[in-house]
Amino acid sequence: MKNIKQKIKQKLPFLFLVMVMTTSLTFVSCDDNDDEMIMAEIVEPTQSIVGIAASNPDFSILVSILSMPELSDLLAAASNADSNLTVFAPTNDAFINLLGALGKSSLDELPISLVKEIVQYHILGTKVTSSDLANGSRFTLLPFETISIDLNSGVKINNANVIAADIEATNGVIHAIDTVLLPSFVTNALGSISETFLFDNDYTILTEALKISDLLDTVSTAENLTLFAPNNEAFMAAGITSLNGLTANDLTPILLYHVLGAKVLSTQLPANGVAETLNGENIYLGYLTNSVLINGLTQITEVDIEKSNGVVHKINRTLVPPAPNVVDIAVALSQAENPEFTVLVSLLTSPAYGAVTQAILDSNDITVFAPTDAAFSEIASVIPTLTEAQITDILFYHAVGARVFSTDLSDGQVVTMANSQDITVNIVNGGVSLTDSTMDPANVLEVNIQGSNGVIHVIDKVLLPTL
C-alpha cells in the first residue's frame, strides 16, 4: 500500500503538527556489548477527541456544534475514555464554505436535527487509522449512510481531501478534512425541490414526515413535480401537532396529497381549480379576489419556487384528504381563530334544517352564497318571528344547483335558486352584488372558496325570498 501519510502530510503542515504534538516520541540509548542502540519510545496520547479538537482553533466550529445541547450524546461519546471512534473533522473553513453554498450565514439557520445528522456522518464507530483505509465504503454513525474512500489520487473521503491524518486521541483518532461531508439524502436534495425545506427551520415537520414515509429521496430525484409545501405552523393549523406514533402508512397519503405529477406554475393552475394529486385524490383551488385557497381553508403564501426537478408553492395549512365539502369548510371557518359563519353553521347543523344540509351534501355541484355573521345580526330581530318552514326557504334561497364561479357571473344575469325563486346579479366597476325580492342588494365580499362539491361566495346580507 502506498504511504498514505506521505500523501497527506504536505497538504496542511500546521494541522499535521497537531499529530506530532499529540503523539510525541522520546529517544533513549542503551549500551549492549559496547554497541549503542537508539530506540524510540512512543508516548501515549493524553487527550480525548474532544480535548484535541478544543485545543485547536481551526476546529472551533466543530467543537461549538458538539457543545449544543441537542448533540450532548455525541459530545459524551467523543469525550468518553472507553470510546474507540474515528472522526473526520472539517476545518472552520469547510463549515464556512458549506454555509455559503447553502446561502446561510450561521449554523443557527439550519435545523439542529440536520446539523446532528451531518456530524454523525463524520464519525465511524471504530478506530480507523490511515493504514487501515482502503478504497471502498464504510458505514458511519448515521444509520444506513456510508462514506466512500478513494486512495487513487491523494486521500479523499467522498469529495473531501484528508489534510492531516492519524491525530491520535485516548479514545480514537481524528483525520482533518477540508470539506464538510454530506449524507446522500442531503446531496440528493441540493438543487431540487427538497432544498426549499430541508435546510429551513420552519419546515422540520415536513422533512421528518418525508423521512418516516421514505419519500424524501423520491421528492428530491423524481422529475417534474409540483409540491405544495406546508411549514411547521401549517401542520399545527391542520391539527397535526406531533408525528409521534404516526407511521409511513399514516403519513404517505397525506404527503402525496401535496404533490402533483407535473410541474405546474401559478400561471398554469387549472381554470376550474381541480387538480389530481399523486395519491389519486383531487385538490380544489379557489381563486379569490387577492389570494388562492386550496380546499377552502389552505392559502398559498408563496409561489413559483423553481428547482431542477419541479416547482414549490408554499402553503399555510397542511392538506388532509379527502377534500372537505362546502359544509365542512363553513364549519371549519366557524371554528377558526377569527370565526365566521357561526350563525349559518348553527342553522345548517340544526336538526330542524337537516333537509337543507342534506341537499347540499348530496349535490356534486352546488354554489352557496354564505351570509356573514354581521349579515345575520342585521335581521336578528326578524329571525324569531319566522317559522321553521320560512327559515328553510331562506336557506334554500342561498343555494344554486350548479358550481358557479365568479367568472360565470354577468351583469343582469338572473339566477334561479334552490327554492325556485330568482335573484339578479349586478356588476358595477368590478363589484358584484345580488338583488333579492326586497330589491336591497347584497354585496359579494369574497368569491370562489371551493370545496369538493361546490363553491362558496361570501355576502354581506341575508337574501330574503318572497315568504
Measured CA to CA, the distance from residue 422 to residue 437 in angstroms comes to 8
pLDDT tens readout for residues 143-195:
999 999 999 988 999 999 999 999 999 999 999 999 999 999 999 999 999 99
Residues 219, 357 within the same domain: no
Is 90 found in the same domain as 138?
Answer: yes
- Above 60 in pLDDT, residue 137? yes
Burial of 143 (0-12, 13-18, 19+ CB in 10 A): exposed
Residue 114's domain comprises: 4-182
The string of pLDDT tens digits covering residues 200-212 is 999 999 999 999 9
Mean pLDDT in the chain?
92
Residue 46's pLDDT is 86
- CATH code, domain carrying 68: 2.30.180.10
Residue 395 has pLDDT above 60, yes or no: yes
Q: What is the pLDDT of residue 42?
A: 52
| CA–CA separation, 198 and 109 (whole Å) | 11
pLDDT of residue 11: 45
The cell numbers describing 307, all together, are 428547482
pLDDT at 41 over 60: no
- The DSSP secondary-structure symbol of 110 reads S
Structure-model confidence comparison of residues 241 and 223, the more confident one: 223
Query: Could you say which DSSP state residue 213 is in?
Result: T
Count of domains forming the chain? 3
**Do residues 293 and 366 both lie within one domain?**
no
User: Does residue 234 share a domain with residue 125?
Assistant: no
296 and 365 belong to one structural domain: no
In a shared domain, residues 47 and 172: yes
Q: Do 366 and 308 fall within a single domain?
A: no
What DSSP designation does 398 have? T
Residue 353 lies in a domain: yes
Full-model pTM:
0.88
Q: Quick one: 166 and 218 in the same domain?
A: no
**Which of 315, 337, 356 marks a domain boundary?**
315
| 248: in domain | yes
The model's confidence at residue 14, banded by pLDDT at 50, 70 and 90, is: very low
Residue 43: pLDDT band with limits 50, 70, 90? low
Mean pLDDT of 262-277: 97
In a domain, 94, yes or no: yes
DSSP 141: S
| Percent residues over pLDDT 90 in the chain | 89
Same domain assignment for residues 19 and 124: yes
